[in-house]
Amino acid sequence: MDDRDVEQQIQDKGLNAPRVTPADIEAEITSEFYFTAGDGVRGESEMGTSPAGNASSLEELTFCVLVLRNGFTVTGESACASPENYDRDIGRQIARQNAVNKIWPLLGFRLRDALHELAG
């Protein structure tokens, strides 16, 4: 079950109090960036530092950075236990969902704060 499934259940039950929706989350995201830990190590090497160790396993560690409309950033990551199962697109999807999961409490706090101010 994903966020949209839950939202549909809420709508089906007629629950219409103020809430954060998947659309609210998506509306907050202005840009997104993806890279692997290996990309980061290569970037460090280009800047003149010499990373220690074997960086080959870092290619399966994917990061997603979501920039929100107020400039705040959230990150998500995904790691693959078996390199043979690594898929770039799946890694990006998982990393993005992990980043999105961090936005929910932020918007929940914002909404609760606004409701508190209205109440008085």
Task: Sketch the domain layout of the chain as residue ranges.
Answer: 28-47+57-119
Q: Are 92 and 34 in contact (CB under 8 A)?
A: yes
Could you tell me the pTM of the whole model?
A: 0.87
Q: Rg of the chain over CA atoms, in angstroms? A: 19
Give the whole-angstrom CA distance, residue 35 versus residue 80.
14
pLDDT tens for each residue of the chain, 120 residues long:
788 899 999 999 999 999 999 999 999 999 999 999 999 888 876 766 665 566 678 999 999 999 999 999 999 999 998 989 999 999 999 999 999 999 999 999 999 999 999 998
Q: Which two tokens stand for residue 13?
A: 């039950």
Give the whole-angstrom CA distance, residue 33 versus residue 97.
13
Give the whole-angstrom CA distance, residue 44 versus residue 39.
9
